[in-house]
Chain A
Amino acid sequence: MKKLLGILTLLLVPALLAVPSYVFGETMQVVTKENAVRAECNFFSAVRAMVKYADTLDILSTKGDWYLVKFGDKEGCIHKSALNKTAVQLTKSEGGKHSASKDEVSLAGKGFNPQVEDAYKKKHPEMDFNLVTEIEGYTVQAEKLGEFVKVGGLTEPSGK
């Protein structure tokens, strides 16, 4: 019996010490205009859900540079650079999705914002912001990038 207790102690103590690292219910906010929650933790995996700036995601765990998250009823992976710590604890709405309050959105967005850009544009009519917007339209589809990487023998970052 003593032997059994010894084995149990050896197995359970490390287990119990590891338990606190699994804290469910932590949230983080999206800090990009929009992003994708993907089925697998890589850039070219299928999209499970699209998220937008200030959306709040439940963090389930991490996998390398990726978070395994829950958004509404969808679970998937999102890269850590697309999220930041939630400034304010949010309450869950009935559908399970979080909605950021006006305050929470502005915490991240206040300061140099569209209002200031508009004032700057008026002062500098010689600057063509439409061209900048046009450049921002130069986007690369994940599928095309995946193909480019594959054909060129390049490396797809893994979620390890």
Chain B
Amino acid sequence: MKSATMNRLISIAILASFMATGCISAVSAIPAAVKTGSAVSKAAREITPEEEYYIGRAVAAKILSMYKLLKDPDFTAYINLTGQAVAINSEMPFTFGGYHFAILDTKEINAFACPGGVIFITKGMIDLAVNEDELAAILAHEVAHITHKDGLGAIKSSRWTEALTVMGSEAAKSFTPGEVSQLLNVFEGSIDDIFKSLVTNGYSKSQEYSADESALVYMKKTGYDPSALRKVLQNLQSKTGASDGGGVFKTHPSTEDRISKVSTKLTESKVTEFFDVRTKRFSGQFSKFSK
């Protein structure tokens, strides 16, 4: 009897221990950071995902005022599948409005990541890719600019401080015409800051290298060959020899430096039989697209 009681007690203790430490379930406990409900600081808060979304929409509209949108439903669908496959393997698979990949009808070689998730890739840039892995490399680099919030980083801090002042401490309200006018100025300035960074001046070298580094991670996680990033950069470099130096070359650090940095991060990767499957479906789509 005594022995039975002891055994029961030990069993209960073991069960309690397993339950509490999560060994029974694969589902782990909530991290400490999540438990602390924090009040939103109205004085110095970050740009919310919804605000980032509206900023991104305006940046996209501004880019579309410069470039023509290429409407090819099949290739657009293919680009979106490739981009989404990479995006779900990033640290931010979801944004407020989601990731959307669109093609710009220009031979200029460039790609733009608008805050919030709209990514433009030019026809000239697509022409650089010779297989799906290389296309994924380009898209992964742009996804990284979004997850790193590089576009938002271009907004002058004084603008956001001004915006917060206009917003004030009231939680819910429609803005008065005067407030809208003030916010419009800040909004417009923010769009111009980002546009300048995306299209005219380019991101800093460190932002570009960091986006390349993240792209390698996303590609490896997705199952693409990370060395495709180096290959597409080499394709880019060979094109630049005959280029007038426009497009992406105004907005990125030297391709040679990027190739060199990427090479140091690459580890040996195996090319599987699926590489051929992916290349075949890329070629199938690309042949229709390039006609």
CB <8 Å contact, B184 and A119: yes
- Which DSSP category, helix, strand, loop or mixed, fits chain B's interface? helix
Type the 1/0 row for A117-160, where 1 means its CB is closer than 8 Å to any CB of B: 10110011011110110111011100011001101111101001
Neighbouring B residues of A155 by C-beta, 8 Å: 89, 221-223
A22 → B minimal CB distance (Å): 5
CA–CA, A93 and B100, complex, Å:
36
For residue B54, CB closer than 8 A to chain A, the reply is yes
Neighbouring A residues of B221 by C-beta, 8 Å: 155, 157
Q: How many residues of A contact B (CB 8 A)?
A: 80
A94 → B minimal CB distance (Å): 23
For residue A59, CB closer than 8 A to chain B, the reply is yes
Tell which of B26, B69, B85, B97 has the most Cβ of chain A within 10 Å.
B85
Neighbouring A residues of B89 by C-beta, 8 Å: 155, 157
Given contacts A116-B54, A116-B180, A128-B61, contact A85 B17 (CB under 8 A): no
For residue B30, CB closer than 8 A to chain A, the reply is yes
CB <8 Å contact, B187 and A116: yes
Neighbouring A residues of B172 by C-beta, 8 Å: 102-103, 105-106, 110
CA–CA, A156 and B277, complex, Å:
17
Q: Which chain A residue shows the least CB distance to B96?
A: A32
CB <8 Å contact, A22 and B20: yes
What total of A-B pairs shows CB separation below 8 Å? Answer: 250
Neighbouring A residues of B27 by C-beta, 8 Å: 60-63, 68
**Which residues of B20-49 have CB atoms within 8 Å of chain A's CB atoms?**
20-22, 25-32, 34-40, 47-49
CB <8 Å contact, B37 and A89: yes
Given contacts A112-B163, A115-B180, contact A136 B93 (CB under 8 A): no
Given contacts A33-B96, A148-B85, contact A136 B118 (CB under 8 A): yes
Given contacts A79-B94, A85-B37, A111-B167, contact A132 B64 (CB under 8 A): yes
CB <8 Å contact, A131 and B61: yes
CA–CA, A85 and B34, complex, Å:
7
Residues of chain A touching chain B, judged by Cβ–Cβ distance below 8 Å, are: 4, 7-8, 11-12, 14-16, 18-19, 21-23, 26-28, 31-33, 35, 43, 53, 59-63, 68, 79, 81-82, 84-89, 102-117, 119-120, 123-124, 126-129, 131-132, 134-136, 138-140, 144-145, 148-149, 151-155, 157, 160
Residues of chain B touching chain A, judged by Cβ–Cβ distance below 8 Å, are: 6, 9-10, 13-14, 16-17, 19-22, 25-32, 34-40, 47-51, 54-55, 57-58, 60-62, 64-65, 69, 76-77, 80-82, 84-85, 88-89, 91-98, 100-102, 118, 132, 163, 167, 171-175, 180-181, 183-184, 187-188, 190-191, 221-224, 272-275, 277-278, 281
Nearest 4 CB-CB pairings of A with B: A153-B274, A21-B29, A15-B20, A154-B223
